[in-house]
Structures are given as C-alpha cells and as structure tokens.
Structure 1
C-alpha cells in the first residue's frame, strides 16, 4: 500500500502555533486533509529537535501538556490536538477519550485509526464507530480516503463505505462534484457498482468531468450498459461521448458506433485531432467495408483546400505508404498552420523527411510548425549550414525559431556553434539561458553537445 508523503515542515509550523495557544482554526487549514496528516507527522520532530521553537519553549509546552493529561485537568482544543499527535502512545490514547465537545478534532480521530500502536489504533476505531454517521462520513471522506492509502488505514474507509451504502441517495450528491478527485472517483465507482445512474447520465459525466479516471470509469460503464438501451435512446449515450473533449472518451464513443448499428458515422472521425480517435474510426470503417486510406488520399488531394482538417494529413501518414509522401509535401505550404504541422509530422512517420527541403520551414510563423520541422530535421543536423543556424539565434527572430536553432546547433556540434551557444548564457530569454547553461555544463564534463531538453 502506498504511503502518503506529508509536508512535515508545514505540520511542524502548525504544531508550533498550537503550542503557543493559537486557536485551532487559525493554526492550520482545517478544511484541507493534508493539513491534518501533516500536523500528525510534524509534531513528533519537534519533540526531538525543536525546529521552530527554542528547545526550552517546546519542552515547557510539552511538560505542561503532559502534566495536565496526567492530572486530568481540562485541555484547550489546541492542547488536545497536540496530545492526539503526541509521540507517547499513552498520551495519544488518553486524549482520545477527552474529545467530547470538540467536533473540530474528528479528523485526528480518523488519523489515529491508522496509528502504528495497536492499543491506540483499537481505541480510535472504537471511538470513530461511536461518533461517525453518514453526514460526518461525507464531510470527512477526503481525509478518510487519504488515510486509507496508509498502512493500516483501511478501517475508516470500510466504516465510511458501510454508512454511505445505507445513506439516502441525496446525501451523496455533493460527492459527485467534490473538488477532491479521490472523492469523485470513490463516489462514481460506487455509483457504477450499484447502478445509480442511467447510461446517458454516465456518458454525460464522462464527457464533462475533468479527471481521466472518472471519465474512463463512466465511459466504460455507459458502453457496457449500451446493449440494454433501446435503439431509439442510443443518442443519449453516444452524443455526449462523441462530443467529449477527452480523446479516450471520444474513442469509446466511436468504437460504440458499430455496436449501435451506426458504423457509417465513424467516417466523421477519420480526421479527428487525436490519433487514438482516428485509429478507432479506421477500425470501425473497415468493419463495414470502408477504405480509410482512400478517404484520406481523396481529402488530401487538394493541397489548397481551406476546409482540410489537420487530422486528415496525420491519418494519411498513419495508414499510408511511402508513395503518399508526395501528397504530404504538397501540404507543407497549406494556409492552415495545423495542416502544415501535421504534414511535416507525417513525413517523419513515413521516413520521407528531407532535411534540406524542410529547412526553410524553420522560419515558419507558427511555433507548432517550427517544432515539427525541428523534430524532423534533428537526425540530419550535421548536414545543416552552421552559419545559417547561428544567425537564427539572434534576438530579432521569433522565440520558437531561436529555440529550434539552438537545438539543431547543439546536436550538430562544431566550434562556431558551440561559441554561439555559450554566448546565450547571458540571453534575456530565460529558457534559452537555462538550455545554454545545461549544454555548457555537459561540454565541461566532456559529454554530448546535444541538447536533449
């Protein structure tokens, strides 16, 4: 089980504030799960080294707390928080039974359920079982799931899961829009397991949520349920998937077109902006007897077509032959930057990129095209004219061109290029300065001159 890495420094700082009497809600961000686990991890180093307090001050606070615990004296909420994180398990255990009237400290009760000391762990679990209800489980779920990733952290997760399974559906509503991704993943996983959403609802979640795990979970569940959806209701599932921003979700929708008896619609996605979607579309088109390669060749036959989608050039390279390179060469001067960039990338895929022929395109106004040209000619950098590249390091050139010239000169090598690159260590452009500094260090060590960054 993966341990959660805590910000011990931040936790120690919060512990210092608590020891100085700062109220709990001012000492740490009580709404952040990481703040509680960091506090727990950050208290103990103070017992050993007093990072923020001088030693006598921390020791004095510790003696006062320990004496109050042994004498049964009332503790402030800040003192009780420190006691619940104390390095002495007997103090942590005793503090568990003094939490009545301090609901703000329930997060530390959750943390103690994964305590490394078995007596403390058992008492914490007994107390949590007494006080946790569905409402509190919802409020504490981000922390419960965080602690659940620790060793011995499964108890609170299991208890919350049991309570939430018995809760009315409306109690869970806030979980589906929680800002914590782990909470949304938990909520939608449960919803899928229990069949709480219709296929259409799952498809809309897959299209709208910004977490890829939730997207994939709901898209897969929507498609699995598609067989049970009447033919007339397929749109409710397919439309959200086919219009989703995430390529994985769109590809799931394209694949489902065949199952829904609408394979011919996959042609619309042969030129999708994402390679995964294009590949799925080609599969579906072939299943009903279509020929994706012919479609790509026909679309790319008019090099000046302003409506040509960039994905058509990419698709031609993905399933074409070396002879299709001429069609891509005709597209490298297309008015749309996206088409030009995909055409250059396609030439590289077909192993038909001629460095000398592509080199003038290094001056393209579109940074995306410049990047593709750089990648295409990089293996032939040694054949490129050194002075031509050095000229393009000048500050008068666009940033993308300067970075491209740097990469090619670093790959090419040569004394003149090396001097020019070293001079860039004083360049006003931060990225070029960093690249030049890294390259100079490699040269000093006798390593490769190529800038791999």
Structure 2
C-alpha cells in the first residue's frame, strides 16, 4: 500500500503540472484511483487550490467551484481528493459535468464526511447508466469493501438489474474476478441462464466462487427426479475439481451411481471423496474397488489417484499393497504410495531412506515428510554425503531438511557446510539455520568444533550475538 500511495503522490504532482488524467494513471485500474486519492492527501503542492490562507472567507474560496470551467480536469480531480471535506464537497458539483472524474465520485460515495458522502451519492445516482455501470463496476466493488461502501454496490446492482441482459455479457469474462462473481450472481438470481449454460460457465471459469455458484445453480435448476445428460457431461468433464465434484455428487440424484466408480481414482481428493459417497449410498464398498484396482502393483495403467484413494479409506493392512508400488515406473504412483504409507502410519525408515535417491522430486519430497519424525535416528554421515554439490537439487534439499530436523551439532554442521553453497536458496536457508541455532543438551559444553562452526558463520551475527552464542556453548573468549 505504501508503494500505491507513493505512486498516487507522483500522479498528483504531475497533475499540478498540467498533465491529464489519462497520462498519469491507468483509468481501467481501480486501485490507481484509490492510490491517487490517498497520494494526493499525502502530498499537495501549496497554492494549487484556493485555501483560507490565500483568500479571505470561506464563501470566496469555495466560489471557484461554481462555474463548470472554473477548474480544469486535472485540478478538479485533485480537488475531489483534497484533505478538506468542504473542498471535496464543493468539487462534486462540477464533477457531475466531467465524466473523466466520475471514478473519484465513486470513491467519495464512501467518504468519511457525511455531507461529502451524501452529495457524491446523489451525483453517482444521476450519472450511473448501464454503460457507465459496466465501466465503473471494478472500482465500485473495490470501494464496496470499505466500511461505508455499500451504497455503490447497491446502486450497481439496481442499475444492472434494470438493464437488458446483454449488458451483463462483457462482465462474465471480465479479468477482475470480483466483477465476474457479481455478474454471475446477479444473472443466476435473475434467471438469465439455462442449466446447460450455467454448467458451461462453471466448467469454463477459473474462479472457485464462480465455479461453485454456477454448478450449484445448474443442478438446482433441473427437475428433482433427474439431471439432464448435457448438464452432467459438462460438469463431469470440467477441469476444475470443484465442478467435477458437483457433477459426481449429482450422479446419485440422477440414479447413475455406477458412473461414480470411474471417479474413485480421480486426481483430486475432493472428487474422490464425493465418488466414495455416491458409491456407498448405492450400497457398495469403495475400499473393495481400490484393493482390486491396486492389486497389480506393476500395472502401467494404474492411476495415482487409485493409490491415493486406497490410503484415504484403507487400513494399515493395506500397507503391503502400497509397499509393492514403490518400484512402479510411474513417479506419480510411487509418490502417492509413499504418501499413503505415511497416512496409514506404516513406515520403515530403512526402506524409505533409499527413496531419497529417487530421480523424481515428488517421490523424494513425500519420503522426506515420512522420515521427518525419525530424523534423529538416521545416519547423519549418509545424509551429509547427499549435500554434495554434484547431487540432484531435490536430494540435497531433502538431506538438509532432515539434518536440520536433527537439531544439535548435526544441524550446525549441515548448515555450516552450505554457507558458501552456489545455490542461493539453500545458502540462505543454511544461514537462517545457523542464526537460529542454540546450544542443546546433547552438545558437549566447550566443544571446539562448535566454536569453529560458529566462526564460519561470523558474517551472520553481530559481535555481541556471536559472543553470546559461544558463551551459551561454554566457549570462552
């Protein structure tokens, strides 16, 4: 926000020099208008506008706003952002005749001064037509988040509801997701879309709120005794998991629970959970399906979602199936198998440790998570070897993460070894680890090695803090 205010102050200064609004800010960016409003008050050149010190009497200095040409557009914009509420209020009259500053009128509808706020609301109500509403919608919705910003949102809703439905069309694909949410919510309430159109909108939009809104509306708009095929297909084939999950849940209502089985292995956990619900409601046990699907650990067509689903609803006895998948050629299957073993609390430190050398980062990441609770029992020398610069980066990261979790002298050795590493992120992480290191009970007091390792990180400490760390470790001098 500080950068925004600074940018607004720069824009204000340029306006005092005669630059036009379109030259100093992006009129389509709602945050630019808020920045100008805040920036103008943070800096305003003396002598720019009539003030009490320049003109004797309030009536005289406010008379500058009575004529439509008394202030040019740049100075009118600055007047609307002035720190004196009487100046802002007086500027609203000419602003009604200057469309270029209408965004600042929107800002003033949430003004903290009631007279300014009420006058701005009158001006905006008179000026807002369907075309202007579409242009100002992003700013109105942004200002609407403020404590006194509800008026603009209510007026926008009122104007767009009265407008022909085609006026909303550009808002459905607006880059501002708040605008899309508003437009779709209004369209749903007004019944502008058929169920198939709503399902298509849910599948197309990338915003989760719009996806949920349109998917739920599509299903609510169809008869209670079934769901049409076109609506179901659009939902079930959508890329967004929230939309697919809505479609899968609707399979029960449509009387087609058999189709839910194919979604038991979906890549999304939410979709898998909905599929299990539908399958159970049909009187079947999804766990049986998962066990049968995962029985062949070498099946090249085995989807990772099936492995994840087995762990989500399986038992510890299913660990045998998951162990068998650690040699599967697909990295996604191996990663999900390791994650499943961790979820079922079936771990073998020795077997999982070998996975730190896996070629796939996802597998190594899951193995690391499973080994973290047992980090202190690992061979720190073996892990230190994997910090070598020639190792793959994901292996080095995993090794350091486990060594760091060991604490004590092991942690300090590992961090000190990476203080000069060419990998910037690893080097920074190691430096933070050294800075946060403190003496623990398993480190012998007065250790010469501790002193040498702390000295390697001398550049990370002030002299006082370094001396304090050494004192804690029982190292004098």
TM-score by length of 1: 0.91
Contact 1:6 1:41 in 2 (8 A): no
2:9 and 2:360 mapped to 1: Cα distance? 49
Q: Cα 1:448–1:127, aligned 2, differ >3 Å: closer, same or farther?
A: farther
Quick check: 1:442–1:448 contact (8 Å CA) kept in 2?
no
Maintained 8 Å contact 2:412/2:433: no
Give the corresponding residue for 1:52: none
CA distance in 2, matches of 1:148, 1:28: 21
Separation of aligned partners in 1, 2:127 and 2:439: 63
| Alignment match of 1:140 (pick from 136, 139, 151) | 136
Task: Measure how far apart 1:414 and its partner are.
Answer: 4.6
Q: Is the 1:200–1:237 Cα contact (8 Å) retained in structure 2? A: yes
Alignment partner for residue 192 of structure 1, among 188, 193, 197?
Answer: 188
Structure with more relative contact order (C-alpha pairs < 8 Å, separation 6 or more)? 1
Counterpart position of 1:243: 237
Q: 1:284 to 1:273 in 2, by over 3 A?
A: same
Corresponding residue of 1:412? 406
- In the other structure, the counterpart of 2:58 is none
Q: Identify the residue that residue 120 of structure 2 maps to in structure 1.
A: 124
- Once structures 1 and 2 are overlaid, which stretch shifts more, 386-395 or 154-163? 154-163
Q: How does 1:41-440 map to 2 (within 5 A)?
A: 41-47=38-44, 58-62=45-49, 70-71=63-64, 74-227=70-223, 234-440=228-434
| Matched residue SS, 2:388 | coil
Q: Within 2, Cα distance between the matches of 1:156 and 1:332?
A: 58
Q: CA contact under 8 A between 1:9 and 1:42: conserved in structure 2?
A: yes
Structure 2, unaligned runs of 5 or more = 56-60, 444-477
Residue 94 of structure 1 deviates from its aligned partner by: 1.3
Pair 1:130–1:270, CA change in 2 (3 A): same
Q: Whole-Å Cα distance in 2 between the matches of residues 373 and 271 of structure 1?
A: 22
Kindly indicate whether the alpha-carbon contact (under 8 Å) linking 1:6 and 1:37 is maintained by their aligned counterparts in 2.
no
More off after superposition, 239-248 vs 183-192: 239-248
Number of equivalenced pairs: 434
TM-score of the aligned structures, taking structure 2 as reference length = 0.86
- In the TM superposition, residue 394 of structure 1 has moved relative to its aligned partner by 0.9
- The aligned counterpart of 1:10 is 7
Question: Which shifted more, 340-349 or 109-118?
Answer: 109-118
Give the direction of change, closer, same or farther, for the CA distance of 1:385–1:223 in structure 2 (3 Å limit).
same
Secondary structure of 2:245's partner? helix
**Aligned counterparts of 2:159 and 2:420: Cα–Cα separation in 1:** 62
Query: 2:352·2:371 contact (CA, 8 Å) conserved in 1?
Result: yes
User: For 1:277 and 1:318, how far apart are their aligned partners in 2?
Assistant: 12
Q: Report the Cα distance in structure 2 between the residues aligned to 1:156 and 1:70, rounded to whole angstroms.
A: 29
CA offsets per residue over residues 295-350 of structure 1, 9 Å max, x none? Answer: 11111111110000011111111111111101100001100000000000000111
417 and 159 in structure 1: CA distance in 2 versus 1, 3 angstrom threshold: closer
Q: Is the partner of 1:273 in helix, strand or coil? A: coil
1:439-450 to structure 2, matched below 5 A, reads: 439-443=433-437
Q: Alpha carbon RMSD of aligned pairs, Å?
A: 2.3
Q: Distance in 2 between matches of 1:216 and 1:180?
A: 17
Preserved contact between residue 390 and residue 417 of structure 1 (Cα < 8 Å): no
Q: Deviations over 1:194-243 (max 9, x none)?
A: 111111111111111011110111111112223358x5x62211112112
CA–CA distance in structure 2, aligned partners of residues 100 and 273 of structure 1:
55
